[in-house]
Structure 1
């Protein structure tokens, strides 16, 4: 019988695909809804001509692991120090955070042509341990009023040499790097869309990368690929005199979107999408209020500025 207790250790690799040896004391991740497939393969068809009906044997190829989880969004506790979740986003194509001592840690996507980060993940269900090397992934985010904000991450990794799953009890994880989040609400959260303080019900987004294993003769790695950030926000419909987002949609204009969550230094999260395009607006009613569901895309202009995270 295997317990369903889940443990994951996650550490940035210094050399791609080389075990970074994460430890429970320094690299434990405080996750929600962790799921994994320790071994995935693709079918290698043989298509044999045999004098019988039925299935012919096949082979397997492109062996890899896959895992996903959620992380709550909160600061590090000290302005100018990167929160633990930023290391996970580095393995999703983002560059290392830019630190300003005592002020902020900023994160944006790595420039085209720049080497991308990767991670080693040790993960357990009960005492069944699996290892993912060279892991790269994609992510989404969710800020919903009356709930805690969080990231949703999914990764593909290479398998280690030897057995992909072994019996090995995890050490007790240290979660001291992970701070408690704050509820998304009026007291904790400010939101503007094109400079207007829209009444926000939810803001969600998906990076849209498609990480995949690449097994070539002489080179094996996880290809993270490109991304195209899209998402939705639900706001209370303003009067047309206050803000006409239908005119913005029709013009195809690029506008700014900014969310600041938290009030105390060390636990403030800022999300900026400076070149957002409204793609569609749907109307609905909620509690006798007219609401807009706005579908959007976040464009890039210069310096990988489609999305910028700051912890302050």
Structure 2
């Protein structure tokens, strides 16, 4: 009897594709992912019923259709440690409809795009079994909650391939840097409409609509739309200082900025230039009045609804 295969025995690779659906051959030395909470659905799809009319009573069997694969996981949102050097998670974000702009020795900026979406290939080895997902595109969410490490949560969909037994690669994870927790010390700026807040949590969902499209002549996974959403919970203030109710009523669009990190090469700045305030709510924690707020990042001009800049 074969020995058990341990779930934690994973080697996880990702490479951007030059041609859609063509495996670029990611390597353990250059393309390894340091992830957590990995969930793999290797053979998603439908089972088409046969509905055959024949004598007797029995199942007719099914035909698998619409075959694709899905994978979700989380990585640390931490900069590379050197200004102008892209982080290890950069290729993953690029496959979520995001452009990467590098200014040498200065910054790496991520902004949304509406066309020319990149795609990538995953290799996930669990024990000696390798699962390959081609043509993958995904959705992402930035999560910065107090007293926790900042994270990016990814969900990818790609083309199905038959798993194979191969020798697992040797991986180099040195490009993945240690994160720092979101805190008063490490997160010096959080403002809405230039008003500082005591912030409990902040999340930006990129809101990609990712859809498999399998037709004659083309099997693709497409990003067909986007609808970003920013959610935060903050300590409430007097309405004379900040009035989210009037803002929501008037559909006001305000800037939001969050800066995490204080050391050059390790600073991440999230900007929403024109975010529309939605109806606020009220909650409490530790007997402190809080506001759960939702804002919609709106584009003042094409593709400027949010940016993430590493410096």
**Which 5+ residue runs of structure 2 have no aligned equivalent?**
none
Rate the CA distance shift 1:54–1:251 in 2: closer, same or farther, 3 A: farther
- Could you tell me which residue of structure 1 aligns to residue 169 of structure 2? 171
Q: Is 1:272 the equivalent of 2:271?
A: yes
Query: 1:1-312 counterparts in 2 under 5 A?
Result: 1-4=4-7, 5-95=9-99, 97-110=100-113, 112=114, 114-160=115-161, 164-189=162-187, 190-312=189-311
The separation in 2 between residues aligned to 1:300 and 1:61, in whole angstroms, is 38
Q: CA deviation at 1:14?
A: 0.9
- Secondary structure of the residue aligned to 1:211 is strand
> Aligned-pair RMSD on alpha carbons?
1.4
Q: Is the 8 A contact 2:11 2:169 kept in 1?
A: no
The separation in 1 between residues aligned to 2:91 and 2:238, in whole angstroms, is 42
The separation in 1 between residues aligned to 2:42 and 2:56, in whole angstroms, is 35
The separation in 2 between residues aligned to 1:223 and 1:157, in whole angstroms, is 9
The separation in 1 between residues aligned to 2:198 and 2:151, in whole angstroms, is 20
The separation in 2 between residues aligned to 1:50 and 1:69, in whole angstroms, is 46
**Residues 110-162 of structure 1: CA deviation (Å, up to 9, x unaligned):** 2x3x32100011002222210011100101111000000001101111124xx
**Residues 203-250 of structure 1: CA deviation (Å, up to 9, x unaligned):** 013222232221111111111221101132000001112111111111
The separation in 1 between residues aligned to 2:291 and 2:244, in whole angstroms, is 10
The separation in 1 between residues aligned to 2:231 and 2:110, in whole angstroms, is 22
- Secondary structure of the residue aligned to 2:92 is helix
Q: Is the 8 A contact 1:10 1:122 kept in 2?
A: yes
- Secondary structure of the residue aligned to 2:29 is coil
**Residues 236-290 of structure 1: CA deviation (Å, up to 9, x unaligned):** 0011121111111111111111111001111111111112112221111111211
- Secondary structure of the residue aligned to 1:248 is helix
The separation in 2 between residues aligned to 1:219 and 1:42, in whole angstroms, is 18
The separation in 2 between residues aligned to 1:274 and 1:28, in whole angstroms, is 34
TM-score, scaled relative to structure 1? 0.94
